[in-house]
Structure formats: C-alpha cells, structure tokens
Structure 1
Amino acid sequence: MSTKQILVIDDEAAVQEVVQSCFEDLAGWTVITANSGEAGLEQALATRPDAIVLDVLMPDIDGITLLRQLKASPTTEAIPVVLLTIASAFTDPGGCAALGAVGAIAKPFDPFDLVEQVADLLGWALEYREDCL
C-alpha cells in the first residue's frame, strides 16, 4: 500500500484531531495539519501533499480565498482540494468544481464515513489498514 500524504487545514483543534485520527488510523495516510489559512498555504508549498482537506470558514484567510491562492500557484495548482464546510452552498458539486475543489463534505460529518467520502472524491482506491479490520 502506498502511503498518501494529506494536509488538513482547519482552525478548530478538535476537528483536526478527529480528521487526523480517521485518516491515519483507518487508511494509514500520513497527515500534516495547519490551524490557519496562512499556515496551511506555507505547509502546502513546503510539502506538496497528495491532497488537501480545507475548512471553508477560518478567521485569517478563509478557505475559498486560500483555495484560489492554491490554484493560482504553479507549485500547488494540481493538488486536489476537498472542502469541509457548514455552509450548504459549497456542497453543490457544480459550485465546488467552479471554485477548483474536487468536492465538499458537510460539517458535522460522520468520522467513520469520512475516509471513504474523501477517497471517493479524490478517486483513490481505499485500502484500510489491516490492524483496523
């Protein structure tokens, strides 16, 4: 199994922890976290992860502004982005595509379904860790 590297950008520590645990414990993905848009942009440029899970509502740089910055940079433009949001307007597939995201997952989300939802949006075959089965 090849390990995927995911950058999770969310200003809520509890959400970061839940998402990180799901991705690492269930799928075996490596997770990098950032607690602000600015820190997320720095991490994305430095690490060039396989995908980014991005909160839409953040205080410093909101997720939509950050998504535009990511898509405008040659270093990060090809990285697929999944939005996490409480705003139902962003969960429309057409709206996500217009913004440059591969999709959106509504908050609150079911932690046990999250890995499968993200893998489906990214088109990744999901290989659960054997010690979790």
Structure 2
Amino acid sequence: MFENFKLKSVKKKIAEIEAQIVSNQKEIIRMEKKLSEIPENMEFLKKILKITDERTQEYINDNGHDDFSNKIIDASLNRSAKIYYLEEDLKRIPEIIKSLKAELFDLEKEYKKEKLKEKVYSLTEGKQISV
C-alpha cells in the first residue's frame, strides 16, 4: 500500500515535470521567434520614422506648428520609443533564452531521476524488500 502511494506520487511529479518541460520549450521557441523578428521590425520602424520626420518637417515649414503637427510628432516619438524597446529586447532576450535552456536542462535531469524512481517503485510494488 505504501509503495503504491510512492508510485502514484512519483507519477504525479513526472507529469508535472513533463508539463513544465513542454511549457519551457514553447517559451524558448516563442522567444527565439521574437528575437528573429526584432531586426526586421526595427528596420521597418526606422524607415517609417525617417519618412514621417521628413514629411513632418515639410508640413511644419509650410504650415507652422499646429495640433496636427503635434500629433505627428507624438507618433514619431512613440515609434522612437518602440525602436528603443526593441533594441533593449535584442540585448535582453538572449539572456532569457539562455536561462530558459538552463532551466530546461535541470528539468530534464529531474525528469530522468523521477523516471528511474518510477521504474524502481513499479518493480518493487507489493514486495517486501529487506536491507
């Protein structure tokens, strides 16, 4: 009876570890995808920012400052901020991926250990073992 409880406990822990491993793998894939898309997104935003800045300057030269030009300037500032955050992500995400891979490695080691326990408990289930 006690062995059966141990076996159930180990199987539950294995299921939890498997779920963590899958979740971790999905997060690594998501981060790697995001990392690969950043340069393209930054380039696109920089092109838009350059065009917007040129046209904004032309508009201001022709019409002076008004509410519309202020809205355009605000939009340009928002794009600049997005570029800044993408640059920060470009620095930060590789460290996150490295950490996730290290965590995955630890989870896989723990998984192997629990699978071994499961095998031992299932082989000894219902048997009296003397030491």
TM-score, normalised relative to structure 1: 0.17
Instruction: Report 1 or 2 for greater relative contact order, CA contacts < 8 Å, sequence distance ≥ 6.
Output: 2
* Structure with greater proportional strand content: 1
Work out which of the two has the higher radius of gyration on C-alpha atoms and give 1 or 2.
Answer: 2
